[in-house]
């Protein structure tokens, strides 16, 4: 159970730092990536090795690249890009990490969302709505539908 938690945290840390955004469709060394992220080179290499161990990055010599397959959806501009969704999940991780404190003390003050956090939420809502809209359109086909009312469907 702890392994899944650690894997999730490793992944979300990479998302929060922008690892997949910076590597994109190319490759980078841990040192060059650390310089662009403003992070510690040794800690960055450990993170990248962990991501390679998860199958999200491919390591060739000192270079890291985004692994083909599902990890490609983490590269901005890719088909099915989900970076906003995972950044939103990372934003939610922090308050949920304080659940024990909330239970002990009651409600904690609500932090104000930043513009980046609002953007991440909007990106996730758009991704979810687009998928549902595409499905609905395929189900309706061309059955002479003239109007459609969306009541809180996202």
153 has a pLDDT exceeding 70: no
β pairing state of 57-60 and 63-66: antiparallel
Per residue in 25-75, pLDDT (tens digit) is: 899 999 999 999 999 999 999 999 999 999 999 999 999 999 888 777 888
The model's pLDDT over 78-128, given as tens digits with 9 standing for 90+, comes to 777 777 788 888 888 877 888 888 888 887 767 788 888 888 778 777 777
pLDDT of residue 41: 95
User: Locate tokens 């609002």: which residue?
Assistant: 118
CB of 82 closer than 8 Å to CB of 127: yes
**55, 92 Cβ separation under 8 angstroms:** no
Higher pLDDT, 122 or 21: 21
Q: Predicted confidence band at 143 (pLDDT cuts at 50, 70, 90)?
A: low
Question: What's residue 2's pLDDT?
Answer: 57
Residue 13, judged by CB atoms within 10 A of its CB (0-12, 13-18, 19+), counts as middle
Q: What is the pTM of this model?
A: 0.70
| pLDDT given at position 74 | 81
Q: Is the pLDDT of residue 1 over 70?
A: no
Residue with the larger pLDDT of the pair 7 and 152: 7
Q: Which residues contact 103 (CB under 8 A, 6 or more apart)?
A: none
């Amino acid at each position: 159970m702890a392994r899944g938690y650690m894997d999730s945290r490793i992944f979300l840390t990479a998302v929060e730092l922008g690892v997949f955004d910076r590597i994109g469709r190319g490759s980078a060394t841990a040192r060059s990536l650390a310089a662009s992220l403003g992070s510690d080179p040794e800690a960055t290499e450990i993170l990248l090795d962990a991501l390679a161990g998860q199958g999200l990055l491919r390591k060739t010599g000192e270079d890291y690249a985004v692994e083909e397959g599902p990890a490609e959806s983490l590269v901005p501009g890719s088909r099915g890009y989900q970076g906003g969704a995972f950044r939103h999940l990372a934003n939610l991780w922090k308050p949920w990490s304080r659940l024990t404190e909330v239970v002990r003390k009651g409600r904690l003050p609500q932090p104000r969302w930043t513009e980046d956090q609002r953007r991440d939420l909007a990106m996730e809502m758009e991704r979810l709505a687009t998928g549902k809209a595409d499905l609905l359109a395929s189900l309706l086909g061309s059955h002479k539908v003239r109007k459609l009312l969306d009541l809180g469907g996202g």
